[in-house]
Amino acid sequence: MHYDLIIVGAGPAGIFTALELIRRGSKKKILIIEKGQPIGRRRCPKGTTGRCVNCRPYCHITTGFAGAGAFSDGKLSLSHEVGGQLPELIGEEEAQQLIDYADGIYLEFGADTAVEGLVEDERVKRIRRDAIRAGLRLVDCPIRHMGTEKAQQIYGAIQTYLQEHGVEILFGVNCVDLILTNSHCVGVIVEKPDGTDRREIRAKDTIAATGRRGADWLEKICQEHGIAHQPGTVDIGVRVEVRNEVMEEVNLALYEGKFVGYPAPFRDKVRTFCQNPGGFVSQENYDNDLAVVNGHSYKDMKSPNTNLSILSSHNFTTPFNQPIAYAQKVGELTNMLANGHILVQRFGDILGGKRTWERELQRANVKPTLKDAVAGDITAAMPYRAMTNIIAFIQAMDLVVPGFASPETLLYSPELKFYSNRVKMDGELRTNIQGFYSLGDSSGWTRGLMMASAMGVLMGRKLAQEEKPA
């Protein structure tokens, strides 16, 4: 089989590449390879079982059409200041234009027209003033909230649109390797999850857009084939859960408050991420049964709690070049303590030097929304530097949001973001391997749905331009 373009991974970066090519009248024969299932066949059994059952051969929350985005809280960050380093590559103005354009596409497919965080009223001014006093920065970023259930509908409509316009999507197939001839990528090798039906598929151009879920796979591919890259940042953190009453002002004024700080003594970047008012803490599973924590927020179904992640960013220097593996080891150690599940601990117990017991959770004001989380001691697995950063940041946040550092505040672990392995490319998105491109979160250049979508749009435009006669 031979195609003009193969896209490995049906996440936002890959599908927006295909969308833009169609919108520009491209005649390319396009194939998307996705190891997971179509939107309509992605099912998490936890809703029935009440606990994670470690689905094989992959987790349906992280894998399938639209990637983790289909089961995320569905927030679209509408500012170039949020979502990764793509603006460093192409410029802030172009990045913002791409975000605005991609946002228009989401609206066409049914996204809510309401945008949170646009108004700079007295509440926002107070929050910003208190953040400054606490040594934190409030990042201006309007948010369009799709909601977990609505995100699935929107991405389902995009899936149908692509297929109706001639894009082939090969589901339930793993891409195991690239085919290179004289530093020129000419296709991929695929097989079924059980290792059968191994075959080659050829194409003029190949795009790896495997998301955070496929970051370690791409790192391995880069090493094996000499694709120029450098170790990137890895985020290690926790998911914090408090009562809605504690976060009420931020929730109402901003919906999602994005705070950044550089706490002493290490001065590492620490930030909030993925805030879910009335949301639910969730578990996602990666390869080798690695369980990590995340958060969802629905349009209609609400809880009495707000959850958000606090992430400590870590960069490594020579000779170490395996940041993804480092973060995975942290996660594995935490999973070991929780017997394969997510660990939860009260903030007051962390400061008091003791583990949390299940009976203590049951009599607290803050009840865990992740029902099968295991009460314990996350400090027994969390690196000292990351834990020190997180504690200092929570205490700073308490000056902005009184009650945030309450003894009853819940911390879930591990929250890990694999953004490593930044693929080296130029402003035209070209790598050192002819015919090979890398997009989205797995490339190391984006973080989140919107910036990955914007990068996909840019890729689609550049490939479409190549079709024009000279």
What would the pLDDT profile of 161-189 be if each residue is shown by its tens digit? 999 999 999 999 999 999 999 999 999 99
Which one, of 156, 239, 117, 214, lies nearest residue 439 by Cα?
A: 214
126 CB neighbour count, 10 Å cutoff: 13
Give residue 313's pLDDT: 94
Cα–Cα distance for residue pair 432/443, rounded to 1 Å: 14
Where is average pLDDT lowest: 66-70, 308-312, 466-470?
466-470
Statement: residue 136 has pLDDT above 90: yes
448 in any annotated domain? yes
**Reduced to 3 states, what is the DSSP secondary structure of residue 8?**
strand
Share of the chain above pLDDT 90, in %: 73
Burial 135-163, CB ≥16 within 10 A → b, else e: ebebbebbbbbbbbebbbbbbbebbebbe
In which element (H, E) is residue 415 found?
Answer: strand 410-418
User: Is the CB of residue 22 less than 8 Å from the CB of residue 165?
Assistant: yes
How high is the pLDDT of residue 420?
58
Number of domains in the chain: 2
- Tell me, yes or no, whether 203 lies in a domain: yes
Residue 363 has pLDDT above 80, yes or no: yes
* Spatial separation of the C-alpha atoms in residues 173 and 31, rounded to whole Å: 12
Based on the number of CB atoms within 10 Å of its own CB, is 225 exposed (0-12), middle (13-18) or buried (19 or more)? middle
Question: Taking 60 as the threshold, does the pLDDT of residue 470 lie above it?
Answer: no
- As given in the structure block, the two tokens for residue 135 are 């040594």
- Report the Cα 255 to chain-centroid distance in Å: 19
Name the 3-class secondary structure at 44: coil
Write out the residue range of the structural domain in which residue 83 sits. Answer: 2-111+146-230+422-467
Residues 184 and 60 in one domain: yes
* Same domain assignment for residues 445 and 412: no
> What tokens were used for 371?
């029902």
Of 387, 402, 418, the residue at which a domain comes to its end is 418
What's the CATH code of the domain at 199? Answer: 3.50.50.60
Respond yes or no on whether the N-terminal peptide bond of residue 323 is cis (omega within 30° of 0). Answer: no
- State residue 175's pLDDT score: 96
Residues 304 and 446 in one domain: no
Mean pLDDT of 259-269: 97
Do residues 165 and 288 both lie within one domain? no
pTM score:
0.85
- Confidence at 232, pLDDT banded by 50, 70, 90: confident
Q: Which two tokens stand for residue 322?
A: 């395996």
- Give the model confidence (pLDDT) of 6-48 as tens digits: 999 999 999 999 999 999 999 999 999 999 899 888 877 766 6
Are 212 and 72 spatial neighbours (Cβ–Cβ below 8 Å)? Answer: no
